[in-house]
Amino acid sequence: MMSNYPICLAAYSLNEDRIKSSSGGIFAEIAKIVLDRAGVVFGAAINTEGKVFHKYITKEEELQDLLGSKYVQSDLGNSFSNVKSFLKDNRLVLFCGTPCQTEGLLSFLGNKPDNLILIDFICHGVPSFKVFHNYLQEISQNREVEKIFFRDKENGWLDYSFRVEYKNGEVYKCIYNRSNYMHGFIYDLYLRPSCYSCSFKGIDRNTDITMGDFWGIKEEEPEFYDKDGVSVLILHNEKSKQLIDLVQNKIKFIVIQVDEIVKHNSSIIKASDKSIMHDLFFFEMKKGVSHVVEGIKNPNIVQKVRNKLYRGVYKKIVAPRSLKRINKASAQKGSIPVIYINKEECCGCSACLSACPKNAISMREDKEGFLYPKIDKSKCIGCKNCIRVCPNKNLEKNRQV
């Protein structure tokens, strides 16, 4: 394997865990290496209400909870503080998250310890828990949820389905391009505001490995295609190459060019474009997620007129007033730090919460269901640790870590 970085690979695991993973199952193989060395693995899990949250595991039998994509923003809770504690105990730690979450962790730590393995992925953006929870309730119709799979590969990796299993034995299954939730996600109807101006795009990253789906494999590397899923990996440093060396007998891989990744997965270098119907979706979401998405995707005559009028009004009136209102509502005076002014500036990584020495910061849900830091003025001492660890405010500093 070449040694100039970044190195790009197409890869997939030879283990059965690949079926439970979204694409090639490489994360699972690396996680097992960490767990075999008495390490700790942090990743995103999902509960039966549709809430996605980061947790850590120390045993291989717990790994199943962290496999598979979850198209909802993860609540990090105290994950950053826990990572720091394990690192201080000289434990090997693997943390996997969105690009903004990994940057937030680096900002919080202030450096990149040798015993920390960072994995991020090619991120399209994140919807809120509120959107997904509402959608889950709509399709479940009071049935108790047992398991949720955003990328069920029963029909193959490229024709994945959204699948929900219920405690009564029933199953809801919908191929991705017919799912209103997945449609709204892919077409940027309800991503977090910061996702539309994401600062963490690009090929070169501070993580060790960037992972994603090799969507263009049939065009670029047809002989390497496998129906159960193929990942693209971008190795950023020697540590990542050593990790691949450790699992090379458990995976199959070939070296590819970065252009093969970018051509078919532009989210690696480009932020999602905010749908002009974003605000309309949240305004009408109380009518039902599926109903609103369908009315935007396949509108009837009345909805077509509404959509056309909304587009015109939004451009001329709603958008300018909305931005002004956010600026006014977020302005603060005195010694209380201003963590963000516009919502686009906050990725919700919760680094500020973890860094506050007085527990003066909590993450509060806004009307769209996204979490934002809220400062308790009675506890704040004005130390501005929250500002120092904000990844959006420390982009240049983090690039030197």
Residue 284 lies inside a defined structural domain of this protein: no
- 268, 292, 310 - which closes a domain: 268
Is the model's pLDDT at 368 over the cut of 90? yes
Residue 285 lies inside a defined structural domain of this protein: no
Q: Are residues 225 and 101 in the same domain?
A: yes
Tell me: the pLDDT tens digits for 293-322?
999 999 999 888 888 888 877 666 655 555
Q: Are residues 32 and 110 in the same domain?
A: yes
Q: Are residues 119 and 52 in the same domain?
A: yes
Tell me: the pLDDT tens digits for 141-173?
999 999 999 999 998 999 999 999 999 999 999
Q: Are residues 259 and 307 in the same domain?
A: no
**Alpha carbon 277 to chain centroid, angstroms:** 22
Q: Residue 47 belongs to what domain range?
A: 7-127+190-268
Residue 344 lies inside a defined structural domain of this protein: yes
What is the reported pTM?
0.93
361: domain CATH number is 3.30.70.20
CA of 173: how far to CAs of 120, 134, 184, in Å?
28, 17, 17
Question: Dihedral through CA 256, CA 260, CA 265, CA 266, nearest 10?
Answer: 120
Is the model's pLDDT at 236 over the cut of 80? yes
Q: Are residues 232 and 118 in the same domain?
A: yes
Residue 26 and residue 14 in contact, taking contact as beta carbons nearer than 8 Å: no
Question: Which of 78, 18, 21, 75 has the alpha carbon at shortest distance from 50?
Answer: 75
Tell me: the pLDDT tens digits for 195-225?
999 999 999 999 999 999 999 999 999 999 9
Residue 204 token pair: 């070169």
